[in-house]
């Protein structure tokens, strides 16, 4: 008789500040597991490689967001991100990201759709073909304006 898979839910949070040319000036990462309190995340030699991997996906998408915002002449000031992640026995089944950007310039709906599409083209995201639910959304505004959690599988 086989054991049912262990399902884990994580929420990753990202706050970044940007300077000239969308250069990264600061980055704060935090994690919440299964509804617990937020805990700051730092990559550490003795830390969890799985959690580092999850944050690397988010950081990769942020890099593509920054590069493509620059291409579109959008001057980012801050980016707030939330990723809702589900795994079963440490195999990802869901990676759902929302970025709220604050800009010194005006972003159109076309810009936002383009940025979301390009985030999914980052090398790490491109290697998540097995993930059943994989989405990235980009909105203009503050972290409170990120899409509410969608619990559908």
Which tops the pLDDT comparison, 124 or 29? 29
More confident residue, 110 or 34: 110
Q: What pLDDT, on the 0 to 100 scale, is given for residue 152?
A: 46
Mean pLDDT of the region 2-10: 89
Distance separating alpha carbons of residues 47 and 43, to the nearest angstrom: 7
**CA gap 89, 77 in Å, rounded:** 38
Q: For the chain, give every domain's residue range.
A: 8-145
Q: Do residues 141 and 106 touch, judged by C-beta distance below 8 A?
A: no
Condensed to tens digits (0 to 9), the pLDDT of residues 64-110 reads 999 999 999 999 999 999 999 999 999 999 999 999 999 998 999 99
Q: Report which of 36, 61, 66 is spatially closest to residue 122, judged by C-alpha positions.
A: 61
Residue 33 DSSP code: E
Segment 29-51 shows an average pLDDT of 88
Q: What is the full DSSP assignment across 82-141?
A: EEEEEEETTEEEEEEEEEEEEESS---HHHHHHHHHHHTTSHHHHT-TT-SEEEEEEEES
Collapsing DSSP to helix, strand or coil, 81 comes out as strand
Task: Identify the CATH number of the domain defined by range 8-145.
Answer: 3.30.300.20
Pairing outcome for strands 76-88 and 7-18: antiparallel
In this structure, are strands 133-140 and 91-103 parallel, antiparallel, or unpaired? Answer: parallel
Predicted confidence (pLDDT) per residue in 104-152, tens digit:
989 999 999 999 999 988 888 888 877 877 788 888 876 555 555 544 4
């Amino acid at each position: 008789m086989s054991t049912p898979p262990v399902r884990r839910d994580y929420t990753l949070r990202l706050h970044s500040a940007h300077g000239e040319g969308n250069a990264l000036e600061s980055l704060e990462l935090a994690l919440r597991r299964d509804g617990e309190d937020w805990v700051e995340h730092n990559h550490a030699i003795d830390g969890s490689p799985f959690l580092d991997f999850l944050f690397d996906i988010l950081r990769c998408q942020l890099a593509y967001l920054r590069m493509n915002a620059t291409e579109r002449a959008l001057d980012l000031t801050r980016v707030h991100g939330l990723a809702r992640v589900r795994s079963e026995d440490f195999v990802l089944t869901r990676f759902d990201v929302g970025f709220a950007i604050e800009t010194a310039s005006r972003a159109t709906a076309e810009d936002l759709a383009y940025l979301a599409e390009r985030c999914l083209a980052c090398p790490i995201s491109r290697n998540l073909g097995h993930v059943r639910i994989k989405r990235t959304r980009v909105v203009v505004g503050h972290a409170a304006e990120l899409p509410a959690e969608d619990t559908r599988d």
